[in-house]
Chain A
Amino acid sequence: MNAWRVLVGTVVFATAATCQAETYALIVSGLGGETQYEQRFQSQADSISAAAAKLTGAQSRVTTLKSAAATRESIRQALKTLAGKVKRDDRVMIVLVGHGSFDGEEYRFNVPGPDLNATDLGQWLDQIEAGEQLIVNGTSASGAVVDRWRREGRIVISATKSGGERTATRFPQFWLEAITSSAADINKDDIVTAAEAFDYATRRVAESFKADVSLATEHARLEGDSAAKFQVGRLGAAALSGVDAALEALLQQRIGIERDIEAVKERKATLEIDAYYDQLEAVLVRLALLQKQIDSRAAATAALPGGKS
């Protein structure tokens, strides 16, 4: 149960932090090579982009580059623009889907025209000042970049464990599922963290290979310390928090109650078991009642002209 405590606790801080900082996202889908891959990558980029808009609270904070538009130069330009506007307190999420390759020395992301290599991408990424960064490289052979792109404050997720896993990956599809449905939201707070999404996607990848009775050709990796607090998806009321001040206030109240729950759980070892459950129940009831208000307000917000659903 300890893992849960950590997770819930970090989400509390994460939610609080969003009040001051903005989140920006860049989604890139590379060349598919074949029609089925081209369509799949574009569709994944669109869906991840839509989810990113909910997460960031504004479509303007999301840049999407797909197939023909996703050239080496346009990616360089997009990262340069991002570096220009992002501040230290902000967050940046970059997602790459498509085919990657690794020749034993250099990783390449397949895009129209000259391919992008890990060195160039790494240098451009390093220009971005944001204190919290998440790079999800969902391409084949993506494991080759993890160690090269690691930095303090940066989480790097790859679909494969190394450059040697070269088969087209399943990871992005399950990552998408994770950030757009409640399946990965283990603590049911309508917020999906990078850790939750990663756990879900890796589990589903493994299950899919098992169901096919085939050897798994990819094993995702996550490096970085703050995956449990880095938000990658917002659902339900959490997705509306940026557009309604009253709703935002209720969500702030919720953070306070979440802290109280954590405090009771911290005291569990020192309490008689009945006293522990009594205290836990009391604070959970407060949360449940507040949640009703939040849901009611979120429904009203969603129904407003210009509101989101």
Chain B
Amino acid sequence: MIRRSLLLMLLLASTAAHSQVIDYDPRRPTELRECDDHAYRGRAAPAKECYTRILTNSSAIATRAEAAWALGDIQRANALFREAAQDTANSTQPRVRWGRLFLQAHRPADAVALFKEVLQGSPKDVHARLGLARVYAEQFEGEARRLVDELIAENSALTEAHLLAARMALEEGRYEDVDASLDRALRGVEKQKLPPLDVYAMRAVLELSRKGEARSDWLDKALVFNPHYGAVYQDLAHFEVMRRRYKEATVLLRRAVEVQPDLWEAQAELGANLLRTGDIIGARQHLTLAYSGDAFSATTVNTLRLLDRVDEFDLRSVPLTIPSLQGTGTVDVELRMRLARSEAEALRPYVQQLASDSIASLSKRYGFEPREPVTLELYPDHDDFAVRVAALPGIGLLGVTFGYLVAMDSPSGRPVGEFHWGSTLWHEMAHVFTLELTQHRVPRWLSEGISVFEEWQTGPTPGVNVTPDALVAMRDDKLLPVSELDSGFIRPQYPRQVQVSYMQAGLLCLFIEQRWGFDKLVTLLRQFTRDTSTKAAIEATFKMPAADFDKAFDAFLRKRYATLLAGSEEWQKRHEEAGNAFKNRQWNEAILAARRAIEIYPEHIGDDSAYLVLARALDKSGQRYEAIDVLRNYRRVGGWAPAALRDLANWLDATGNKDEATEVFVALNYVDPLNVDQHRLLGERLLTANRAEPALREYRVLMALSPQDPAPAGLGIARSLRQLGDKAGSRRYLLDALASAPHYKPAQELLLQTIEERKTNE
């Protein structure tokens, strides 16, 4: 079961890191220098003429390949590099450059293969390793930092290594390290007589990160050096996207394509960014432009294909009324739901209900009312969702929030029981508040932490449940200091560190709430209404050094999980024993072992939770009331496995707890909302309990889900409306149901009953 959303926004930003323009390899043919100089200065016409001349006249194939590349003829450059690579004696540098070409052509796997090929023959080739480091850095792999550190240790004058180090430090918020790296990089370019454009761009980003303003002397310097250097704006935008400041990124990307209209990556990124903010028309325009200049980008092609199918989605806008923060009256918030037409009617009621509840709850808790419409998009095809958020299918996210726009998997996008779509929606809605309240300045860890915390505290499956891998990290002292926690999300250093970081972030919020009260969490969040660092915000809020805060958090964890940390081995043993005993139908043994496992680790609610074993073993051994209590406890700590909830509801029913059973069936709608039988059953139960309004909702959904057999749903709607006093509406639905199925006896009986009543009243 997957419960939480993986908001790997860094993947969204990864495409924005612009490809290398400047070749820092000293082996670059000197023949190209004159042309490069024109290109670096933005003198397009002479550069073109110069490269064309070389392409025509040069006797060196690799040099002609470079010229073709600089002229934008990727196919020809590829063919020439392939030819150059045949010359085994001198193919190292051309192969590295060929790899770089693949990187620009959005084929990182081919680039990696070429770099590795080079390294087989020349294991120490610096530029092949730099190429690899760049690929890893763009893919946010922890390996990148190790490789760059290694290269710098071997040769401290490697300009590109310092630039990469600076970029990674910037992404992780280590600004002092950025300063040092850029100083070294500048010395390198001056020595090599290369353009300082990348250094200027990175300096501009550093200023943006520190001061919050995109305008800077460094930006001006870059544009003085090259007035058509759009990449400086693209770099600035990249870091704004990293911080989820999409509107700000859009302004910068517009500037990038203004000064350099053929900067296709910026055109594509502008399109993607407009899509993040809901501007489909603008997105299509810029993505089409990007495609016209760069047909190799799978992300651009995939997104355009998805946009071509926009008609398959239904966009519905509804006004929500939530209590005003002023204490009296209400305010309206517009909710827009973009749902696949095939399931829109069935899902909309639950999406709307959950969105409404979350907005009301979160606005009150965080003292912030949405100022723009909130858009929710649910994708039944996971690959469509993946394309929507990162433009590449096959990415394992569940939901992504771009500010006021949330995109996520629809419940039909994954097998039933794999994720709790209601919790995912709640998690994402919390991001809407943390992002918008801080104008997207909130650090990743706090935004994720609050989302996880809100799932635990106010979501549809409340209960603090920490996964085993987080506890292992806790035991092994692998949790990060709060001021470095963002790096656990951005560039994980060990498997599942991202998931561990989610848990740690949630626990940090829980710690703050329990130690200082919930208001302090809000105070901490509000620190980020201006540009500040985690360290400074922690110190300002809690009046203690960040290191002391970390110590207090550690003590909190050690106390809270003392039993588990001391008994983790026993838990593992009991947990396995319980499962094995159950398989062997040894109910008593299963019960004993499962009880002990729950005592040690009461928050474990995964697929193989001891609660589930215990409940079933108790039921099998004739102790149904005890089994019910176990599943009640399981729900209390956040358990939601659909099969377990169905067992609980049926057992409650069988033992006369009808109302509680109904509530459990209602909860199932937020796990498995497209189950026809579930709605039929729930509609009947609610009607029997004289709860016509929710019954009506169930029958309307049933109608949407079973268009091939509308009579039972039509009758249900008729009965609900009748109970609500809408006789005319009830009559129409009843007659429509009978028109589709004239012999439907329950409907015939209701018809005769209404006729009798009418006669009596006349």
Contact in complex: B742, A284 (CB < 8 Å): yes
Contact in complex: A287, B742 (CB < 8 Å): yes
How many angstroms between the C-alpha atoms of A211 and B755 in the bound complex?
43
Does A189 make an interface contact (CB < 8 A)?
yes
Q: Which residue among A4, A188, A285 has the maximum number of chain B CB atoms within 10 Å of its CB?
A: A188
Given contacts A277-B731, A281-B735, A284-B751, contact A187 B708 (CB under 8 A): no
**Residue of A189, A213, A261, A295 touching B739 (CB-CB under 8 A):** A261
Residues of chain A lying within 8 A (CB to CB) of residue B731: 277, 281
Residues of chain A lying within 8 A (CB to CB) of residue B752: 285, 288-289
Does A1 make an interface contact (CB < 8 A)?
yes
Chain A residues numbered 65-118 whose CB sits less than 8 Å from any CB in chain B: none
The smallest beta-carbon distance between A156 and chain B, in angstroms, is 22
How many angstroms between the C-alpha atoms of A203 and B751 in the bound complex?
31
**Residue of A1, A199, A203, A258 touching B742 (CB-CB under 8 A):** A258
Label chain B's interface by main secondary structure.
helix
Residues of chain B lying within 8 A (CB to CB) of residue A295: 745
Given contacts A187-B740, A284-B735, A287-B742, contact A203 B748 (CB under 8 A): no
Contact in complex: B751, A187 (CB < 8 Å): no
Does B709 make an interface contact (CB < 8 A)?
yes
Residues of chain A lying within 8 A (CB to CB) of residue B543: none
How many angstroms between the C-alpha atoms of A187 and B744 in the bound complex?
7
Does B732 make an interface contact (CB < 8 A)?
yes
Given contacts A203-B708, A277-B732, A281-B735, contact A188 B743 (CB under 8 A): yes
Does B565 make an interface contact (CB < 8 A)?
no
Contact in complex: A188, B744 (CB < 8 Å): yes
Contact in complex: A291, B741 (CB < 8 Å): no
Residues of chain B lying within 8 A (CB to CB) of residue A199: 708
Does B201 make an interface contact (CB < 8 A)?
no
How many angstroms between the C-alpha atoms of A203 and B708 in the bound complex?
10
Q: Which residue of the partner chain B has the closest CB to A287?
A: B742
Given contacts A213-B415, A288-B752, contact A186 B738 (CB under 8 A): no
How many angstroms between the C-alpha atoms of A41 and B190 in the bound complex?
83
How many angstroms between the C-alpha atoms of A261 and B748 in the bound complex?
14
Does B13 make an interface contact (CB < 8 A)?
no
How many angstroms between the C-alpha atoms of A281 and B738 in the bound complex?
9
Residues of chain A lying within 8 A (CB to CB) of residue B738: 280, 284
Range for the number of chain B residues in contact with chain A: 20 to 34
How many angstroms between the C-alpha atoms of A225 and B742 in the bound complex?
24
How many angstroms between the C-alpha atoms of A284 and B755 in the bound complex?
11
The smallest beta-carbon distance between A234 and chain B, in angstroms, is 13
**Residue of B708, B709, B743 touching A287 (CB-CB under 8 A):** B743
**Residue of A4, A187, A203, A277 touching B743 (CB-CB under 8 A):** A187
Q: Which residue of the partner chain B has the closest CB to A203?
A: B708
Given contacts A213-B415, A284-B751, A285-B751, contact A188 B739 (CB under 8 A): no
How many angstroms between the C-alpha atoms of A284 and B751 in the bound complex?
8
Chain A residues numbered 277-299 whose CB sits less than 8 Å from any CB in chain B: 277, 280-281, 284-285, 287-289, 291, 295
How many angstroms between the C-alpha atoms of A211 and B738 in the bound complex?
32
**Residue of B709, B742, B749 touching A189 (CB-CB under 8 A):** B742
How many angstroms between the C-alpha atoms of A284 and B743 in the bound complex?
9
Does B711 make an interface contact (CB < 8 A)?
yes
The smallest beta-carbon distance between A80 and chain B, in angstroms, is 39
Does A190 make an interface contact (CB < 8 A)?
yes
The smallest beta-carbon distance between A10 and chain B, in angstroms, is 14
Cβ proximity bits B137-156 to A, threshold 8 Å, 1 near / 0 not? 00000000000000000000
Residues of chain B lying within 8 A (CB to CB) of residue A219: none
Range for the number of chain A residues in contact with chain B: 20 to 34
Residues of chain B lying within 8 A (CB to CB) of residue A288: 748-749, 751-752
Residues of chain A lying within 8 A (CB to CB) of residue B745: 188, 291, 295
Residues of chain B lying within 8 A (CB to CB) of residue A277: 731-732, 735
Cβ proximity bits B714-735 to A, threshold 8 Å, 1 near / 0 not? 0000000000000000011001
How many angstroms between the C-alpha atoms of A289 and B745 in the bound complex?
11
How many angstroms between the C-alpha atoms of A285 and B753 in the bound complex?
10
Contact in complex: A189, B743 (CB < 8 Å): yes
Residues of chain B lying within 8 A (CB to CB) of residue A190: 743
Does A8 make an interface contact (CB < 8 A)?
yes
Residues of chain B lying within 8 A (CB to CB) of residue A281: 731, 735, 751, 755
Does A265 make an interface contact (CB < 8 A)?
yes
How many angstroms between the C-alpha atoms of A287 and B752 in the bound complex?
10
Q: Which residue among B732, B743, B748, B749 has the maximum number of chain A CB atoms within 10 Å of its CB?
A: B743
Residues of chain A lying within 8 A (CB to CB) of residue B741: 186-189
**Residue of B709, B739, B749, B755 touching A280 (CB-CB under 8 A):** B739
How many angstroms between the C-alpha atoms of A277 and B740 in the bound complex?
13
Q: Which residue of the partner chain A has the closest CB to B676?
A: A207
Q: Which residue of the partner chain B has the closest CB to A207?
A: B676
Q: Which residue of the partner chain A has the closest CB to B732?
A: A277
Contact in complex: B740, A291 (CB < 8 Å): no
How many angstroms between the C-alpha atoms of A186 and B707 in the bound complex?
11
How many angstroms between the C-alpha atoms of A287 and B711 in the bound complex?
16
Residues of chain B lying within 8 A (CB to CB) of residue A4: 739-740
Given contacts A285-B752, A287-B748, A288-B752, contact A188 B742 (CB under 8 A): yes
Residues of chain B lying within 8 A (CB to CB) of residue A211: 416
Chain A residues numbered 221-269 whose CB sits less than 8 Å from any CB in chain B: 258, 261, 265
How many angstroms between the C-alpha atoms of A287 and B745 in the bound complex?
10
Contact in complex: B732, A187 (CB < 8 Å): no
The smallest beta-carbon distance between B197 and chain A, in angstroms, is 51
Residues of chain B lying within 8 A (CB to CB) of residue A189: 741-743
Chain A residues numbered 175-205 whose CB sits less than 8 Å from any CB in chain B: 186-190, 199, 203
How many angstroms between the C-alpha atoms of A211 and B748 in the bound complex?
34
How many angstroms between the C-alpha atoms of A40 and B716 in the bound complex?
37
The smallest beta-carbon distance between A181 and chain B, in angstroms, is 13
Residues of chain A lying within 8 A (CB to CB) of residue B416: 211
The smallest beta-carbon distance between B501 and chain A, in angstroms, is 29
Contact in complex: A188, B711 (CB < 8 Å): yes
Q: Which residue of the partner chain B has the closest CB to A265?
A: B739
Residues of chain B lying within 8 A (CB to CB) of residue A1: 739-740
Contact in complex: B732, A186 (CB < 8 Å): no
The smallest beta-carbon distance between A7 and chain B, in angstroms, is 9
How many angstroms between the C-alpha atoms of A238 and B448 in the bound complex?
62
Q: Which residue of the partner chain A has the closest CB to B738?
A: A284
Contact in complex: A8, B708 (CB < 8 Å): no
What would be 6 A-B contacts, judged by CB atoms less than 8 Å apart?
A188-B744, A189-B741, A284-B735, A284-B739, A289-B752, A291-B743
Give 6 nearest A-B pairs by CB, closest first: A288-B748, A188-B744, A188-B741, A189-B743, A188-B743, A213-B415
Using A287-B742, A291-B745 as known contacts, list a sample of 10 further A-B pairs with CB atoms less than 8 Å apart, ordered by residue number in A. Answer: A1-B739, A186-B711, A187-B740, A187-B741, A189-B742, A190-B743, A277-B731, A280-B735, A281-B755, A284-B735
